[in-house]
Amino acid sequence: MTDAPERESRTPRSVVPAPPYAGPRHFTLPDEAMKRVLVADRVTVELSGKRILDEVSFWIPKGEFLCLCGPNGAGKSTFLKTVLGIVRPVSGSVEILGEPAGTANKAVGYVPQRKTFDHDFPATALELIVANLRGSWPLRVTPQERDRARAVLRRVGGEKLVDKPLAGLSGGETQRVFLARALVNDPALVILDEPTAGVDVRGRQEFLDILAEISASDELAAILVTHNPAAIARCAERVVYIDGRLIAWGLPNELLGQDSLSAIAFSMKDANASLPADED
Amino acid sequence: MNILTFFTEPFVQPFMQRAVIAGMVVGGLCAMLGVFVVQRGLSFIGDGLAHAAFGGIALGLLLGASVSSATWIALPFTVLVSLGIAFVLRRGKLRGDVATGVFFAVSFALGVLFLGLRPVTAQPVNVETVLFGSILAVGSTDLLIVLGVCALVAIVILATWTRLAYATFDPELARLSGVKVELLDYMLLALTAVVIVVAVKTVGIALVSSFVVIPAATARMLGRSLHRVALYAVAIGVGGAALGLLLSYHLNVASGATIILTLGAGFGLALALRKR
């Protein structure tokens, strides 16, 4: 992208050195009375003997759109894998609607980073969505399943994609189909792992429009892992910033300008200046 | 000779009846497994397991079995190798072709070693039979074994079909939908090993991987859904075996090679039609 060097110059990530860790900084937290969709309680994860997450605790109430931020290698993807039940913490726990992570998969929708498909794999958007509905690849799709897939695609502005082969979709269309797949079981929480990385500018903008609608929903909670300041500015109702440990948890505007959060602070200023990032 | 005689005359003879049934059953099943194997980028696995089967047959011969009964030693040996490949694929960071390549070479080398260790008084082995198969020599008992083994494998594949298809499409998403992906990985390779050992009897070590790869590769160009691809692949495997056998009879040429060449011609035709 042509604006990459310019953006690099606006994000001097190393200008303000991070102070020694003095525990998590809690700003405005969600209302204690609200129903909790996700509760991470002192989550500690080690992979190959290396500590990736160290006692990370926060929770997400029903309907809240949370952006999970942090530098590369901060443990964001590991945290998502823990929520999905793929990685088990060595101590602490993650609960989804009161159930241990990994046991309530229908309550969680997952949108992975953009996948590329072998052009010879004969799969359509409809089959992908119905596979998540059933938990197996559909031999035949019933009219009811087709209607449901169509409805969920309509919700993400992709109804015309229903019978399209996945291999022929653009990056933005692919991610819409994956979002529809994630939403088809009416989850309480949707997890989005840098969903617009590798998607062109137009596709990214359209996808952010859809995420903004989800953010406006009072029913569906979301965790969006992103480096994209535009996404944070448009969608985040709350931000958690981690770097192996929980650094800060609060409203997006509260995390602006914090010295210890220099990276995100600069990114957020960029976002306010309406500069779309090159990538997530 | 009229057209009807062309098709019926060869199959008057019992050995040809047995050969065509064995060929069609093995061809169809190899093709069915091939859909998953090829889609997972493991096309080389057929070759690898066939050469592992050679190691198993050689072990059987070393232990005093005949070429025919050595299959019973080759079966567990090849299944173990397939599980080893599946284990390495899961645990290590090796690509499928690397893992297969290592096991393939080691198993084949073991086979050569085992053959060399046989006492000098042992009956000589017709290596050509092992390498290129002997579909025309399939006896009644052999046929029953082929049918029994293939029926069992087909039942397992059909029972796990939709989960296997999901795991083949994307293991990560399938796992998150509750599919036991690891178990299916081991199962697929073990079943492939079983079918390969049986298929080695018909088309031989050198040609068996084509039975797995060519029908699936051809069907991928024709089908627009995974199930269609599987149906086409099985039809191509079954039809190719029957037609190849028929041609080999009339042309009086090697049957295993003719079957594979027939499948190859089908692949070429599909390729030409797709480009058009």
* Residue B276 located in a structural domain: no
**DSSP letters of chain B?**
--HHHHHHGGGGSHHHHHHHHHHHHHHHHHHHHHHHHHHTT-TTHHHHHHHHHHHHHHHHHHTT--TTTTHHHHHHHHHHHHHHHHHHHHHS---HHHHHHHHHHHHHHHHHHHHHHS-TTSPPP-HHHHHH--GGG--HHHHHHHHHHHHHHHHHHHHHHHHHHHHHH-HHHHHHTT--HHHHHHHHHHHHHHHHHHHHHHH-TTTHHHHHHHHHHHHHHH-SSHHHHHHHHHHHHHHHHHHHHHHHHHHT--HHHHHHHHHHHHHHHHHHHHH-
Please say whether the beta carbons of A200 and A208 come within 8 A: no
Residue A193 domain flag: yes
pLDDT at A158: 87
Report whether pLDDT(A161) > 70.
yes
Whether pLDDT at A266 is above 50: no
pLDDT score, position A245: 93
Cβ-based contacts of A180 with chain B (< 8 Å): none
Tens-digit pLDDT profile for residues B194-207: 999 888 877 777 77
Helix B71-91 to helix B45-62 angle (10° resolution) is 140
Within-domain flag for A79: yes
> What is residue B89's predicted lDDT score, i.e. its pLDDT?
82
ipTM of the complex: 0.78
Give how far B122 is from chain A: nearest CA, Å. Answer: 50
Kindly list the strands in the beta sheet with A36-47, ordered across the sheet, starting from the edge strand earlier in the chain: A50-61, A36-47, A91-96, A99-100
Query: What pLDDT, on the 0 to 100 scale, is given for residue B42?
Result: 84
- Name every residue whose Cβ is closer than 8 Å to that of residue A187 and which is 6 or more positions away in sequence: A106, A107, A108, A109, A220
Note whether A122 contacts B223, CB cutoff 8 Å.
yes
B222 lies within 8 A of chain A by CB = no
Q: DSSP label at A166?
A: G
Conformational region of residue A59, where left means phi above 0, alpha means psi within -120 to 50, and beta covers everything else = beta
Looking at the complex, report in whole angstroms how far the Cα of residue A192 sits from the nearest Cα belonging to chain B.
Answer: 13
Q: Is A267 on the interface with B (CB under 8 A)?
A: no
Mean pLDDT of A226-239: 86
A267 vs B85 pLDDT, higher one = B85
What's the CA angle centered on B210, arms B231 and B223, to 5 degrees? Answer: 25
The order of strands in the sheet holding A238-243 is A25-26, A245-250, A238-243, A65-69, A221-225, A189-193, A108-111
Candidates B231, B228, B255; CA nearest to B241 is: B255
Q: Is residue A274 pLDDT above 50, yes or no?
A: no
Give me the amino acid identity at A103: T
| Count of the separate structural domains present in chain A | 1
Closest CA to B24 of B131, B133, B146: B146
Question: Residue A120 has what DSSP assignment?
Answer: T
Q: Which of A135, A138, A165 sits opposite B177 (nearest CB)?
A: A135
| Domains of chain B: total | 1
CB A34 within 8 A of CB A41: no
Residue A94 within any structural domain of the chain = yes
Residue B159 contacts A where some CB pair is shorter than 8 Å: no
Residue A6 lies in a domain: no
Q: Which one-letter DSSP state was computed for residue A39?
A: E
Of A105, A128, A137, which has the smallest distance from its Cβ to B162's Cβ? A137
Spell out which residues of chain B touch residue A120, defining contact as CB-CB under 8 Å.
220-221
Average pLDDT, chain B: 87
Whether A138 sits inside 8 A of B162 (CB atoms) is: yes
The answer, for A15 touching chain B at a CB cutoff of 8 Å, is no
Residue with tokens 């200023």: A269
Are A139 and B162 a contacting pair at CB < 8 A?
yes
Q: How far is CA A77 from the centre of its chain?
A: 10
Taking the C-alpha atoms of residue A86 and residue A94, their distance in angstroms, rounded to an integer, is: 12
To the nearest whole number, what is the mean pLDDT of chain A? 82
How far apart are the C-alpha atoms of A104 and A57, rounded to whole Å? Answer: 20
* Predicted confidence pLDDT, tens digits, chain B (276 residues): 678 888 888 888 899 999 999 999 999 999 999 999 988 888 888 888 988 988 998 899 888 888 778 888 999 999 999 998 888 888 766 776 788 888 888 988 998 899 888 887 777 777 777 776 778 888 888 889 889 999 999 999 999 999 999 998 888 889 888 899 999 999 999 999 999 988 887 777 777 888 899 999 999 888 888 889 999 999 999 999 999 999 999 999 988 889 999 999 999 999 998 765
pLDDT digits (tens, 9 = 90+) for B25-73: 999 999 999 999 988 888 888 888 988 988 998 899 888 888 778 888 9
Model pLDDT, residue A118: 62
Instruction: Quote the minimal CA–CA distance from B66 to chain A in Å.
Output: 43
**Residue A49 domain-assigned?**
yes
Please give the residue range of the domain that contains residue B83. 3-268
Q: Is residue B274 part of a domain?
A: no
| Rounded Cα gap, residues A233 and A275, in angstroms | 11
pLDDT at position A272 over 80 = no
pLDDT-based confidence at A265, cuts 50/70/90? Answer: very low
| Four-CA torsion B97, B98, B99, B103, nearest 10 degrees | 100
Chain A contact probe: residue of B173, B222, B232 with most A CBs at under 10 A: B173
pLDDT at residue A116 in the model: 65
Q: What is the pLDDT of residues A17-71, one digit of tens each?
A: 556 677 788 888 898 889 999 999 999 999 988 999 999 999 999 999 999 998 8
Q: How far is CA A56 from CA A189, A229, B249, in A?
A: 19, 23, 72
Q: How many angstroms separate the CA atoms of A84 and A88, rounded? A: 9
Q: Cβ of A131 and B221 within 8 Å?
A: no
Could you give the maximum distance between any two Cα atoms of chain B, in Å?
60
Which run of H or E residues covers position A156? none
Residues from chain A contacting residue B43 (CB–CB below 8 Å): none
Place of tokens 């952006």: A67
For residue B28, tell me if it sits in a domain: yes
Which residues have C-beta within 8 Å of that of residue B128, sequence separation ≥ 6?
A: none
Q: Residue B176 and residue A123: Cβ atoms within 8 Å?
A: no
Q: Please report which confidence band the pLDDT of residue A239 belongs to, taking 50, 70 and 90 as the band edges.
A: very high
- What are residue A103's phi and psi, to 5 degrees? -105, -10
Rounded to whole angstroms, what are the CA distances from A35 to A19, A31, A219, A262? Answer: 34, 9, 11, 32
Does A275 have pLDDT greater than 50?
Answer: no
Tell me, what's the pLDDT at A268?
A: 46
**What DSSP letter does each residue of A230-269 carry, written as one string?**
HHHHHH-SEEEEEESEEEEEE-GGGGTT-GGGHHHHHHHH
Cα A61 to Cα A33: distance, rounded to the nearest angstrom: 9
> What would the pLDDT profile of A97-115 be if each residue is shown by its tens digit?
989 988 867 789 999 887 7
Please, are residues B172 and A193 in contact by the beta-carbon 8 Å criterion? no
Rounded to an integer, what distance in angstroms lies between the CA atom of residue B47 and that of residue A227?
A: 46
Which residue of chain A comes nearest to B221, CA vs CA?
A120
Tell me, yes or no, if A134 comes closer than 8 A to chain B by beta carbon.
Answer: yes
pLDDT confidence bin for A258, thresholds 50/70/90: low
CATH number at residue B56: 1.10.3470.10
The per-residue pLDDT for B71 is 83
pLDDT confidence tier of residue A142, bands split at 50, 70 and 90: very high
Nearest neighbour of A105 by CB, restricted to B169, B176, B227: B176
**Residue A117: what pLDDT?**
63
pLDDT for position B99 = 80
CATH code, domain carrying A212: 3.40.50.300
For residue B157, the Cα-to-chain-centroid distance in whole angstroms is: 15
Of residues B112 and A13, more confidence is placed in B112
Token code pair at residue B43: 């096309």
Contacting A residues, span 71-100, partner chain B, CB-CB under 8 Å: 84, 86
pLDDT tier for residue A10 given thresholds of 50, 70 and 90:
very low
Give the one of A110, A135, A137 whose C-beta lies nearest to B169's C-beta. A137
Cβ neighbours around A256 below 10 Å, total: 17
Does some domain include residue A280?
Answer: no
Closest by CA position to A202, among listed A236, A229, A176, A235: A176
Per the domain annotation, does B123 fall within a domain? yes
Range of the domain at A73: 21-272
Other C-beta atoms within 10 Å of A44: how many? 16
CA torsion angle B140 B146 B147 B149 (round to 10):
140
Residues of A in contact with B224 (CB under 8 A): 122, 165
Question: Does residue A228 surpass a pLDDT of 90?
Answer: no
